[in-house]
Amino acid sequence: MVKRYLTVTSLDATLSLLNTSFACIPSREVVPLLKSVGRVTAEPIFARYSVPEVHLAAMDGIAVVSKETEGASEQHPVTLDHALRVNTGNVVPPRFDAVIMIEEVHVQNEKFTIRKAAPPWQHVRPAGEDIGESEMALPSRHLIRPSDTGALAAYGITDVTVLTVRIGLIPTGSELVPHGDHPSPGQVVESNTVMAEAMLVTLGGTCTRYPMVKDNPDEIKKILRQAVAENDLVIISAGSSAGTKDYTAEVIAELGEVLIHGIAIKPGKPAIIGRIADKPIIGMPGYPLSALTVLREIVLPLLHRFGLPVPSWETIDALFTVSVSKDIGSDEFILCSLGHVGNRWVLSPLSRGAGVQMSAVRSNAYLKIPAGVEGFEAGKSVTARLTVPRTEAERALLVTGSHDPLLDYLADLLMQKEVDLHSTHVGSMGGILTLKKNECHAAPMHLLADDGEYNIPYLQKYLPGEDVVLICVTERQQGIVSKEGIGFDGLCGHTFVNRQRGSGTRMLLDHLLKKNRIDSSDIRGYEREVTTHLAVALAVKSGEADAGMCVYSAAKALGLCFNPVASERYEIAIRSEYLDDPRVSALCDTIISPDFKAILHRLGGYDTRETGVRRVLP
């Protein structure tokens, strides 16, 4: 029988329990001053000596006894008996108490004549001006900045005692292969503890990744016991669910106690909080985005209590573009693309699959939908949390519509202009509707109308009277991808993989089927939909289907055969009002750049003769 969580604990209750259950006493380590930036002091730091230790000249000039300069004026110059030539930074010996700038001194035969009195301590940097011997330069718990290192160096400090937390990371799972190995089908690269280490080390954590352990409770127990002895906190990756091969909770219970099994968050529900020898043990789910959520929402707050410098996520109020429903009772975290369109921020969800790490890579923000909410309608105002600096979010260019691999290359080129292209693949029709709602900057499309015209008839229908410009990216070849060179006329005899409804490629296929009087029900797999050209090619390469329709570059990338069936106009629609937006103009400039055209030629299947041609709606 399958084990189930008896109870699921809310995120708030989980965080409270962590607060009350653990003392969170950090460890300390000594690091060289040059490695101390971003670390947190474990104890106050005191100046070893005064800086400066003696009075110094603050100007090039002469050191004088101020009393001897009294009465000097233009009318009554004074020639000094006692004076000493000093440069900036030279010691002002104790018998002197002022410095006169060399420009104000007449020098002849090593005699100094002045025409203005010097008040005591003029142009003298007094001993201890910067800091006094034994004075506290930095308190404990101070986050060390680069400018602090200069001061500490000057005060005689070469090493700094900083806070750390020793964190043991235990990867479990019989299906794991180490990072760097190519996994066989059904195997998985052990990437979650890599991500955890990368994240926790930047905060000053000292991570030990233990060897991968198979799904064997005795082996897990042995390594967990060792990890608890050697660390302040232990994170066990995977095995935290309730399946037949999930032993994490059982092993924690044997060595200590399970405080929580199952947390009301999505993704991340199968998480565990345990305690062994008064130390916190976190069972982190195996799905990468579940792991990410548990790290961000549970482990980071815990490390903050240990004193590590966990950053706060900046928030931005934005319009959420789609309707979502969710289970009541769980906090749900949705990775999103955030961009500023028109006069407001727009937030679009990325794939919610817990295995889709590209959602994390593509996202620049995330949304927390609280447990008490069942979901909400598109157009709601929400508060997003940024995962990039705000300035980077301001550079986001939202491109929503038809997918083509060339968009990734456009994104690559645009990064050099500091524009961050976020492309969302919702098909050509999806792009038109997003453009209509003014929720993207640009919508790529290739929609063939009955009259043989591309795109314009659809824009006229859906955005009548609106001021929209079409910019041609390329004329591109669509064709049948296969292992064996199947052509359009051979489709009926083979298994097919289709694109989703609303995509231009799907509409092109339907157009061609109709034209050739082929009934779609004669095509096996017609109902099997995927959302990108590469997904079509992959389905063919993996043997799931014999053929599909996609662009040439996708077939070429996977070394498959390609039989062209049509050339189509792939254009980007942009509201004219945004053409002057620096992000949009960078996009337009990049489309016509020689670098981009060279990439199109290299990828193959793209004709650039029309590239950059602008059309306005008649």
- Restricted to residues 238-277, the positions that interact with its own copies (CB under 8 A) are 241, 243-245
Helices (H) and strands (E) in the chain, counts: 18, 38
Q: Nearer to its own copies by C-beta: 108 or 312?
A: 312
- Restricted to residues 536-595, the positions that interact with its own copies (CB under 8 A) are 537-539, 541-544, 557-558
Amino acid in position 344: R
- The residue range among 11-19, 164-172, 351-359, 561-569 that interacts with its own copies, by the rule CB under 8 A, is 351-359
Coil, helix or strand for 65? coil
Is residue 16 a contact point for its own copies (CB under 8 A)? no
Q: With contacts defined by CB under 8 A, how many residues of the chain interact with its own copies?
A: 125
Answer for which of 131, 338, 470, 508 binds its own copies (CB under 8 A) is 131
Answer for which of 50, 240, 474, 590 binds its own copies (CB under 8 A) is 50
- Restricted to residues 95-114, the positions that interact with its own copies (CB under 8 A) are 102-103
Residue appearing with tokens 């009318």:
75
Answer for which of 70, 81, 278, 408 binds its own copies (CB under 8 A) is 408
Handedness of CA 334, 337, 340, 343 (dihedral sign): negative
Is residue 294 a contact point for its own copies (CB under 8 A)? no
DSSP letter (8 states) at residue 532: S
Is residue 88 a contact point for its own copies (CB under 8 A)? yes
Is residue 465 a contact point for its own copies (CB under 8 A)? no
* CB of residue 599 to its own copies, shortest distance in Å: 11
The span from the first CA to the last CA of the chain, in angstroms, equals 67
Half-sphere exposure of 120 (CA within 13 A, CB side): 3
The Cα 384–Cα 368 span in angstroms is 7
CB 318 within 8 A of CB 344: yes
Is residue 53 a contact point for its own copies (CB under 8 A)? yes
Answer for which of 28, 82, 106, 179 binds its own copies (CB under 8 A) is 179
Is residue 192 a contact point for its own copies (CB under 8 A)? yes
Q: Nearer to its own copies by C-beta: 50 or 608?
A: 50
x/- contact string, 368-407, with its own copies (CB under 8 A)? Answer: -------------------xxxxxx------------x--
Give the Å distances, CA to CA, from 596 to 412, 588, 601: 10, 11, 9
The Cα 253–Cα 507 span in angstroms is 57
* CB of residue 374 to its own copies, shortest distance in Å: 23
Is residue 521 a contact point for its own copies (CB under 8 A)? no
Q: Nearer to its own copies by C-beta: 249 or 447?
A: 249
Q: Nearer to its own copies by C-beta: 408 or 519?
A: 408
Long-range Cβ pairs for the range 22-26 (8 Å, 24+): 22/275, 22/278, 22/279, 22/280, 22/302, 22/305, 23/278, 24/302, 24/305, 24/306, 24/307, 25/232, 25/306, 26/163, 26/164, 26/165, 26/232, 26/306, 26/307, 26/308
Is residue 145 a contact point for its own copies (CB under 8 A)? yes
Find the angle CA(169)-CA(253)-CA(1) to the nearest 5 degrees.
105
Residue 280 preceded by cis peptide, ω within 30: no
Is residue 608 a contact point for its own copies (CB under 8 A)? no
* CB of residue 142 to its own copies, shortest distance in Å: 7
CB 257 within 8 A of CB 275: yes
- Restricted to residues 430-449, the positions that interact with its own copies (CB under 8 A) are none
CB 398 within 8 A of CB 341: yes
Answer for which of 10, 149, 315, 460 binds its own copies (CB under 8 A) is 149
CB 520 within 8 A of CB 513: yes
- The residue range among 16-24, 323-331, 410-418, 513-521 that interacts with its own copies, by the rule CB under 8 A, is 410-418
The Cα 136–Cα 115 span in angstroms is 43
Is residue 2 a contact point for its own copies (CB under 8 A)? yes
Is residue 54 a contact point for its own copies (CB under 8 A)? yes
- The residue range among 255-263, 352-360, 424-432, 606-614 that interacts with its own copies, by the rule CB under 8 A, is 352-360
- The residue range among 51-59, 249-257, 318-326, 440-448 that interacts with its own copies, by the rule CB under 8 A, is 51-59
* CB of residue 246 to its own copies, shortest distance in Å: 10
Coil, helix or strand for 176? strand
